[in-house]
Amino acid sequence: MGTSKWMLAAGLATMATVAVSAQQLRPDQTAFRELYAELVNTNTAYSNGSCTIAANQLAKRMHDAGFTKDEAKVIVVPGYEREGNLVAEYKGTSKMLKPMLLLAHIDVVEAKREDWTRDPFTLVEEDGFFYARGVADDKVQAAIWVDSLIRFKKASFKSKRTIKLAATCGEESSSKALNGAEWLARNMPETLSAEFALNEGGGGRLDKNGKPQFLAIQVGEKANRIFDLEATNPGGHSSVPRPDNAIYDLAEAIVAVKRLGFPVQLNDTTRAFLTQMAPTAPAAGQKAIADLLADESNEQAAAILSADPVLNSTLRTTCVATMLDAGHAPNALPQRAKGVVNCRIVPGMSTEDTQSAIEKAIANPRVEVSLRKPHRPMAVPPPLDKRILDPAIKLAGEVFPGVPLVPTMSTGATDATMTALIGIPTYGIPGIFYEADGGGVHGLNERLRVKSVYDGRDYLHRLVQIYADK
């Protein structure tokens, strides 16, 4: 979601940042806060949490609102009893319009109490922020989707489109976990099947003072691939060093990966992003964007833009070393040295081409490069569909006047790779503004502004209504 600081115009319209206190909440906001808090307070980390408990809590709220057991149910795959998934359906009136899918994940990244300032599994409202693990990623969106369907049911909303919901487990978890979105796509595709899906990955960005800089709709993402590097050696006594040292071989390989530069590869989304953000850049930045759009091989323009880490990752495939493990004794030559390299691959580049580039850069037969499995499917970018983009832009102009909405390609990965398995174009929807520093997502003291939650909820509820009638 992030972008280069110099690309954001200082004159972008701002929005009040006064926190919404509990005393100011509307009745519908109070009901939402209770749902949100229950979901956040339920530990859904892989090691010791339970998505099944959370999914059943959400299902109960839907049943209490009038959904039948068939319209809202929890799917638990045998052998994965703690990794349940909620699927629901709000029936539409049209026999012509295909369904839409609201997608979110309810599992979270691990969080240790001793590392956090506050209990990571207790929703805390403090100084205008909500704090807790998953408060942003991705329980806010899951709570908003469930809340919206409950509101539709209570209001007897006549939706033309059938609205499907999937609040799944396993998006954040290890390869040992079950990815609920993937399992449903492969085994129960009818529960997800839709003309399009709305997912995480979009949102908006605030500056350090809480002023909105831009809104983003995610249209495509990079693929995540992990490669293991391993150097082996007979080893020996450390008193007799040898030049063919496994640690040295691995170290040189890691440096080679650091120096490995992939070429710029633009696509429809990144071209649209650069085009729309160019007017907010200083003269040098505008020229670099124009030159790169005219010629992807323009190294000088690419170097100027790539000085920003986020833009660098947006423009090309990137690979980075993330883990090292070597040696077996302090007084012995290493017999084995291992490293992990994480690559984020742009649409249009294959896993095989990426691995080949790593091997060519290392150029050492003593270092084996292997692809770690299992892994996610390759991302399939959805089209820049005006039927999706135009309503989001129009509504944003009403709710967040003066804040530009731009298409972005995520440098991370979401469950959009799973819905792509059954041909569902999936968009990371705008509406919720996140902190410029990431707000502690995947890190310590994850936070989200209270105002961002309630404003984003209003925007997304109205947007779903608009899509439901188109």
**The whole model's pTM is what?**
0.89
Crossing angle (nearest 10°) for helices 450-468 and 139-155: 50
Contact partners, residue 342, CB within 8 Å, separation at least 6: 224, 225, 226, 227, 319, 320, 322
pLDDT tens for each residue of the chain, 470 residues long: 333 332 333 232 333 333 444 458 999 999 999 999 999 999 999 999 999 999 999 999 999 999 999 999 999 999 999 999 999 999 999 999 999 999 999 999 999 999 999 999 999 999 999 999 999 999 999 999 999 999 999 999 999 999 999 999 999 987 778 999 999 999 999 999 999 999 999 999 999 899 999 999 999 999 999 999 999 999 999 999 999 999 999 999 999 999 999 999 999 999 999 999 999 888 999 999 999 999 999 999 999 999 999 899 999 999 999 999 999 999 999 999 999 999 999 999 999 999 999 999 999 999 999 999 888 888 889 999 999 999 999 999 999 999 999 999 999 889 999 999 999 999 999 999 999 899 999 999 999 999 999 999 999 999 999 999 98
CA 37 to chain CA mean position, Å:
21
Q: Which has the closest alpha carbon to 310: 14, 16, 7, 86? A: 7
| 160/170 Cα distance (integer angstroms) | 32
Indicate the pairing of strand 72-75 with strand 85-90.
antiparallel
Confidence at residue 8, expressed as pLDDT on a 0 to 100 scale:
30
CA geometry: angle at 114 spanning 113 and 119, to 5°? Answer: 30
User: At 224, phi and psi to the nearest 5?
Assistant: -100, 120
Crossing angle (nearest 10°) for helices 51-64 and 139-155: 20
Q: What tokens were used for 424?
A: 């569902």
Q: DSSP labels for 38-106?
A: HHHHS--BTTT--HHHHHHHHHHHHHHTT--TTTEEEE--TT-TT--EEEEEE--S-SSSPPEEEEEE-
Q: Which domains does the chain have, with CATH numbers?
A: 5-221+379-468 (3.40.630.10), 223-261+318-376 (3.30.70.360), 263-316 (no CATH)
Confidence at residue 23, expressed as pLDDT on a 0 to 100 scale:
53
The half-sphere exposure of 89 on its side-chain side, counting CA atoms within 13 A, is: 15
